[in-house]
A and B are shown apart, each in its own frame.
Chain A
């Protein structure tokens, strides 16, 4: 059952990913990306990381995608067809990417992973106490750094997006 589910998810993700990078309509591209991200969340559910899946859904699907959609709506006409790269360039990129995939896969398959059979469930409280612990293996410091980073990003985003004082005539 889980196996079928995984293959469905994988197929779903790959096809939507390809669609996202090859469609010529901006908004659709974003929506396809949303499906890919939801697929990733599905994989997190499958391996029993519910908390992570929830984060994935809220932050990515709920936050980032909405942000991108807003920016698309701000700077694009919906009907606008995106410009595509030259065929020659596309082919070259495809070849490079296929070579890369081949390289990665051969490396992965030639390595023996020491898999540990398990069925452990990770609870949210485990993650929380790990994040906030300042004992050995605790992540309190990176956690604080990340929070400062987010604050800085927030301020930076506001400042950059605000830009210079606008000329009233070219107000958008």
Chain B
């Protein structure tokens, strides 16, 4: 398969970014929007063509999906240990190409309407292109170091886009928070990479993931604190992934990241960047599975399950619709993580892996749709809060319909996309661990409940009176909604298991009817409860909230996690550790350096007088010196 054209997929957004970034002020907003959209359209078409080529024409050889790669040596350390740059084509990277390009294209189109009239219009598109480029680079990376480079690049673009409204203090704080928290996690990732490089002598995915390769066979060669070194490395790499994917306890940045413009939230904090963590674990899945017999996968499972539950509970009480969606994202990401964690490797055992990727795919579609729908609502009523909304179905029919479709999809109601992928996850969990399965089902119910809570809150509920009558968003915004709604309805029918599996051999996955029925019923119960509580304006919800008392308060404050982090950071780290160090630094380290500087300045001031500028002084010094040297040579040397 000829894959050389695939390099163009990330290259086009990069060119667009450079173009818009350099000629920022000189490009008319209308032009820059089109540049961004058409650039991405080209990338998206190429991605789809690549996927068609890969899955249906030349990727499948004797039932096994081949891995294609093209790379050049970038930094050479030793013969075996070198950092390459290149592109790697296998089922999950092709799938990610589709996800990133389609969602990004939709968001680009949507942004043309949403950001209209904004001062930084061109800048916004430039940043979006930068992000898209980085994300493509991330999914196409051939080795750990390349993925790390692009990993940081998406972090930077995320930082830039969260802090897009840079005059708003809260946006700046949120951007910083996201950056610092993910950086902290990436620190673990980096150490993990270095450990892997040290013990296996390679960064290359193909070598690392080969089940018969030396990296996996010799995993137990060295140990540290009861676990093998590679196990530690994988835990640390998972820490990086957990940071990006907002897993508990590194989730605190994601809700705040909603300060960014809504299209950004849809693209970065729902569909693409946050799944980078999932993608990373999936990318290294053979290692995770074989090293230490899948010990790390247990951690992945429990972290994922706990995050899913934790976030779902918080989501119920939030009043800012974007925050509800943020916690919902976190919850769904937890789902994907737990699916990876319970997955096996061969044949039908790999259903968890497949389900995780499937859910990633469907979730990207319907969660982007939810965010874009929420953006459309926010655009109309100029508020993020549920209390300012209600009864909007009359004003915004398209948004209403598409939002409903997305909500049904995420709640797991057949035949929408979320049902299929969620069902596969639950099947995988059921086969592996009953506790995880029950958590999963419970979270599915919660998801349905909070999703319909905001759905009813926005489009039904009380009939708000609005100062400006809300009206349906322009075509540029509703078109992506319609496209994504169509995708949310249909992508569930893709037979994913034939394309994606841990060992790259397709298998048949069947719908498990009892489990599917249970999940659907739980989802419907959630919806029904939401109907009772929020369909009509009533005081039932408030009464229940009082009934839960402390628990409700805890939940609406997100279990005080932000406060705990602040306490640990401020009271303990800053006061006990940083302050003495800072003092030492200022007094002794700086003091020494300043002293050296002052001495130099003082000395130079003193000897500055020697440079009088008079030729005669120099001549005098020269002649006197020559005479002295002559004397020395003649009388004292021999």
CB within 8 Å of B: which residues of A?
A: 92-93, 96, 99-100, 103, 106-107
A106 to B633, CA, bound (A): 13
Residues of B within 8 A of A107 (CB): 634
Residues of A within 8 A of B624 (CB): 96
Contact A100–B623 (Cβ < 8 Å): yes
A103 to B634, CA, bound (A): 9
- A100 closest partner in B (C-beta): B627
A158 to B526, CA, bound (A): 103
Contact A96–B627 (Cβ < 8 Å): yes
Is B630 on the interface with A (CB-CB < 8 A)? yes
Most chain A CB atoms below 10 A, which of B620, B623, B627, B634: B627
Is B180 on the interface with A (CB-CB < 8 A)? no
Binary A-proximity of B589-628 (CB < 8 A = 1, otherwise 0): 0000000000000000000000000000000100110010
A107 to B627, CA, bound (A): 12
Residues of A within 8 A of B630 (CB): 103
Which 9 A-B pairs give the minimum distances between C-beta atoms?
A96-B624, A100-B627, A103-B630, A99-B627, A103-B631, A103-B627, A96-B627, A96-B623, A93-B620
Question: Would you give the shortest CB distance from A165 to chain B, in whole angstroms?
Answer: 29
Residues of A within 8 A of B627 (CB): 96, 99-100, 103
Binary A-proximity of B545-588 (CB < 8 A = 1, otherwise 0): 00000000000000000000000000000000000000000000
Q: Tally chain B residues at the interface, Cβ within 8 Å.
A: 7
Question: Would you give the shortest CB distance from A92 to chain B, in whole angstroms?
Answer: 8
Residues of A within 8 A of B623 (CB): 96, 100
Question: Would you give the shortest CB distance from B637 to chain A, in whole angstroms?
Answer: 13
Question: Would you give the shortest CB distance from B622 to chain A, in whole angstroms?
Answer: 11
A125 to B631, CA, bound (A): 44
Residues of B within 8 A of A106 (CB): 634
A154 to B634, CA, bound (A): 43
Residues of B within 8 A of A93 (CB): 620
Question: Would you give the shortest CB distance from B614 to chain A, in whole angstroms?
Answer: 11
Residues of A within 8 A of B620 (CB): 92-93, 96
A107 to B631, CA, bound (A): 10
- Total A-B contacts with CB atoms under 8 angstroms apart: 16
A92 to B627, CA, bound (A): 13
Residues of B within 8 A of A103 (CB): 627, 630-631, 634
Residues of A within 8 A of B634 (CB): 103, 106-107
- A103 closest partner in B (C-beta): B630
A103 to B629, CA, bound (A): 11
A103 to B627, CA, bound (A): 7
* A-B contacts, 16 listed (Cβ < 8 Å): A92-B620, A93-B620, A96-B620, A96-B623, A96-B624, A96-B627, A99-B627, A99-B631, A100-B623, A100-B627, A103-B627, A103-B630, A103-B631, A103-B634, A106-B634, A107-B634
- B630 closest partner in A (C-beta): A103
Question: Would you give the shortest CB distance from A106 to chain B, in whole angstroms?
Answer: 7
A28 to B59, CA, bound (A): 104
Question: Would you give the shortest CB distance from A117 to chain B, in whole angstroms?
Answer: 30
Question: Would you give the shortest CB distance from B375 to chain A, in whole angstroms?
Answer: 70
Residues of B within 8 A of A99 (CB): 627, 631
- B617 closest partner in A (C-beta): A89
A99 to B629, CA, bound (A): 12
Residues of B within 8 A of A92 (CB): 620
- A106 closest partner in B (C-beta): B634
Known A93-B620, A100-B627, A103-B634; 12 more pairs at CB < 8 Å: A92-B620, A96-B620, A96-B623, A96-B624, A96-B627, A99-B631, A100-B623, A103-B627, A103-B630, A103-B631, A106-B634, A107-B634
A96 to B625, CA, bound (A): 9
- A89 closest partner in B (C-beta): B620
- B624 closest partner in A (C-beta): A96
A92 to B631, CA, bound (A): 17
A107 to B634, CA, bound (A): 9
A96 to B630, CA, bound (A): 12
Question: Would you give the shortest CB distance from A7 to chain B, in whole angstroms?
Answer: 28
Question: Would you give the shortest CB distance from A97 to chain B, in whole angstroms?
Answer: 8
A92 to B630, CA, bound (A): 18
A39 to B435, CA, bound (A): 120
Most chain B CB atoms below 10 A, which of A93, A96, A106, A107: A96
Question: Would you give the shortest CB distance from A9 to chain B, in whole angstroms?
Answer: 27
A99 to B623, CA, bound (A): 11
Question: Would you give the shortest CB distance from A93 to chain B, in whole angstroms?
Answer: 7
A100 to B630, CA, bound (A): 9
Residues of A within 8 A of B631 (CB): 99, 103
Question: Would you give the shortest CB distance from B586 to chain A, in whole angstroms?
Answer: 47
A99 to B630, CA, bound (A): 10
A103 to B631, CA, bound (A): 7
Question: Would you give the shortest CB distance from B475 to chain A, in whole angstroms?
Answer: 72
Question: Would you give the shortest CB distance from B534 to chain A, in whole angstroms?
Answer: 90
Question: Would you give the shortest CB distance from A89 to chain B, in whole angstroms?
Answer: 8
Question: Would you give the shortest CB distance from A4 to chain B, in whole angstroms?
Answer: 34
A38 to B52, CA, bound (A): 105
A143 to B555, CA, bound (A): 103
A107 to B633, CA, bound (A): 12
A93 to B624, CA, bound (A): 8
- A98 closest partner in B (C-beta): B627
Residues of B within 8 A of A100 (CB): 623, 627
A99 to B631, CA, bound (A): 9
A103 to B626, CA, bound (A): 11
A107 to B279, CA, bound (A): 87
- A96 closest partner in B (C-beta): B624
A132 to B376, CA, bound (A): 100
Binary A-proximity of B431-452 (CB < 8 A = 1, otherwise 0): 0000000000000000000000
Question: Would you give the shortest CB distance from A32 to chain B, in whole angstroms?
Answer: 20
- B626 closest partner in A (C-beta): A100
A100 to B624, CA, bound (A): 8
A133 to B303, CA, bound (A): 101
Question: Would you give the shortest CB distance from B399 to chain A, in whole angstroms?
Answer: 78
Question: Would you give the shortest CB distance from A94 to chain B, in whole angstroms?
Answer: 12
Question: Would you give the shortest CB distance from A69 to chain B, in whole angstroms?
Answer: 23
A85 to B415, CA, bound (A): 106
Binary A-proximity of B237-261 (CB < 8 A = 1, otherwise 0): 0000000000000000000000000
- B616 closest partner in A (C-beta): A85
A93 to B634, CA, bound (A): 21
Residues of B within 8 A of A96 (CB): 620, 623-624, 627
Question: Would you give the shortest CB distance from B634 to chain A, in whole angstroms?
Answer: 7
Interface residues of B in 456-507 (CB under 8 A from A): none
- B621 closest partner in A (C-beta): A96
- A99 closest partner in B (C-beta): B627
A106 to B631, CA, bound (A): 10
- B625 closest partner in A (C-beta): A96
A103 to B636, CA, bound (A): 13
